[in-house]
């Protein structure tokens, strides 16, 4: 438990997760899935829900529609004690949804963005920033209303004295137009996964991508799926393997749970090594249940399940 207060700004959508799918859907055919889950989705909201369950005081700022999905998302966040006071409702747009088709370690996602695209710089509670110590933002490419102001947003957060983190996530259009040269200097912790970093830097190998981005990134944390993660800051570098476990279900939200674990420890002033270790553990815990949040109920449960994972690493 720490007494730092976190503001998460980002997208909100429900996830309809289909597991155990027999083949890939084809037009004109019917494809069956063996299992289905309907859960809180979206990178930013999964991160917020899980870090709150770990014990960090968390507030979410995002946009939903006037509909049942929007209500469901608010309730799910509230169940994990996330404050929803800065979640606004669009009168014209519907709440977003992602249909996740899961195939072992990877998945094919189909997303309707809806209200999340309308969230913009004016929705951020600038007047109340003194209530917060850290700002986390996720899923840049899906939030059209935020894009042109991203540098300004991070700059103002730093000016207000907050520490900051960013998970860019994937660009569905594969253009990767994100002004990292001007934005990353205001981001304390940058949390891409391996393939996102290569795409952003337009490089084919990780060494070249790291060499390119390190001039702009303060602390670079690279998520590498079953290979674990790396952290690079200045001349320091750490690597940690993933904690592969017997109870693997799916990797939906693993990166967001990793982010939650990392930032939770960071706000507790842990060493980089311990931040990375705990992030890997939380990523691994995420994979034991379908979707991004089911494995993260309360701090006590998380501790218990994390101990089991440590004992049963493959």
Ligand X SMILES: Nc1ncnc2c1ncn2[C@@H]1O[C@H](COP(=O)(O)OP(=O)(O)O)[C@@H](O)[C@H]1O
Q: Which residues make up the interface to ligand X (CB under 6 A)?
A: 105, 193, 223-226, 228-229, 242-245, 248, 251, 254-255, 258, 280, 283-284, 287
Kindly state the smallest distance separating residue 229's Cβ from ligand X, in Å.
Answer: 4
Kindly state the smallest distance separating residue 233's Cβ from Mg ion, in Å.
Answer: 20
State the binding partner of 118 from Mg ion, ligand X, none, CB within 5 to 8 A by kind: none
Distances (CA, A) of 42 to 34, 110, 140, 257: 23, 12, 12, 12
State the binding partner of 298 from Mg ion, ligand X, none, CB within 5 to 8 A by kind: none
Query: Can residue 10 be called a binding residue for Mg ion (CB under 5 A)?
Result: no
Residue 103, SS3 per DSSP = strand
Q: Which neighbouring-strand residues pair with 103? A: 106
Q: How far apart are CA 98 and CA 14, in angstroms?
A: 6
Q: How far apart are CA 211 and CA 44, in angstroms?
A: 28
How many beta carbons lie within 10 A of that of residue 248, not counting itself?
14
Q: Which residue's CB atom is positioned nearest to Mg ion? A: 255
Which residues, numbered 177-216, are part of the site for Mg ion (CB under 5 A)? 193
For ligand X, the closer of residues 64 and 229 by Cβ is 229
SS3 per-residue string spanning 298-314: CHHHHHHHHHHHHHCEC
Kindly state the smallest distance separating residue 194's Cβ from ligand X, in Å.
Answer: 7
Give the range of 29-37, 59-67, 254-262, 266-274 binding Mg ion by CB under 5 A.
254-262
State the binding partner of 216 from Mg ion, ligand X, none, CB within 5 to 8 A by kind: none
> Which residue of 10, 62, 255, 291 would you call a contact of Mg ion, by CB under 5 A?
255
Give the range of 27-35, 102-110, 243-251, 255-263 binding Mg ion by CB under 5 A.
255-263
Return the DSSP state at 94: P
State the binding partner of 6 from Mg ion, ligand X, none, CB within 5 to 8 A by kind: none
For ligand X, the closer of residues 105 and 298 by Cβ is 105
Kindly state the smallest distance separating residue 159's Cβ from ligand X, in Å.
Answer: 29
Strands (E) located in the chain? 5-10, 13-21, 33-40, 57-65, 83-90, 96-103, 106-112, 134-138, 163-167, 189-190, 219-223, 229-233, 236-240
| Residue 114, token pair as written in the block | 């809806």
Q: How far apart are CA 27 and CA 261, in angstroms?
A: 40
For ligand X, the closer of residues 198 and 251 by Cβ is 251
Q: Which neighbouring-strand residues pair with 97? A: 14, 112
For ligand X, the closer of residues 64 and 275 by Cβ is 275
For Mg ion, the closer of residues 72 and 194 by Cβ is 194
Residue 227, SS3 per DSSP = helix
User: Do the beta carbons of residue 275 and residue 268 sit within 8 Å?
Assistant: no
For ligand X, the closer of residues 35 and 106 by Cβ is 106
Kindly state the smallest distance separating residue 50's Cβ from ligand X, in Å.
Answer: 12
Q: Name the site residues for Mg ion (rule: CB under 5 A).
A: 193, 255
């Amino acid at each position: 438990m720490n007494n730092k207060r976190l503001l998460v700004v980002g997208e909100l959508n429900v996830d309809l997760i289909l597991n155990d799918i027999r083949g890939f859907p084809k037009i004109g055919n019917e494809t069956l899935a063996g299992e289905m889950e309907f859960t809180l989705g979206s990178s930013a909201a999964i991160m917020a829900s899980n870090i709150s369950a770990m014990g960090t005081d968390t507030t979410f700022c995002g946009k939903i529609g006037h509909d049942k999905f929007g209500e469901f998302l608010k309730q799910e966040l509230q169940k994990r004690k996330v404050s929803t006071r800065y979640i606004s409702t669009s009168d014209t747009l519907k709440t977003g949804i992602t249909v996740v088709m899961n195939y072992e370690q990877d998945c094919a996602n189909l997303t309707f963005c809806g209200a999340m695209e309308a969230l913009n710089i004016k929705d951020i509670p600038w007047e109340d920033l003194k209530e917060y110590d850290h700002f986390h933002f996720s899923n840049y490419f899906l939030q059209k209303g935020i894009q042109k102001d991203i540098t300004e947003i991070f700059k103002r957060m730093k000016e207000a004295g907050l520490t900051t983190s960013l998970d860019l996530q994937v660009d569905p259009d594969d253009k990767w137009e994100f002004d990292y040269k001007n934005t990353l200097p205001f981001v304390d912790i940058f949390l891409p996964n391996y393939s996102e970093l290569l795409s952003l830097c337009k490089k084919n190998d990780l060494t070249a991508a790291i060499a390119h981005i390190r001039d702009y990134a303060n602390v670079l944390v690279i998520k590498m799926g079953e290979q674990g993660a790396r952290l690079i800051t200045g001349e320091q570098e750490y690597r940690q393997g993933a904690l592969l476990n017997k109870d693997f279900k799916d990797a939906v939200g693993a990166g967001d749970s990793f982010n939650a674990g990392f930032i939770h420890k960071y706000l507790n002033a842990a060493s980089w090594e311990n931040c990375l270790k705990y992030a890997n553990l939380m990523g691994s815990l995420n994979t034991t249940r379908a979707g991004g949040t089911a494995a993260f109920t309360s701090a006590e449960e998380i501790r218990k399940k994390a101990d089991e994972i440590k004992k049963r690493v493959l």
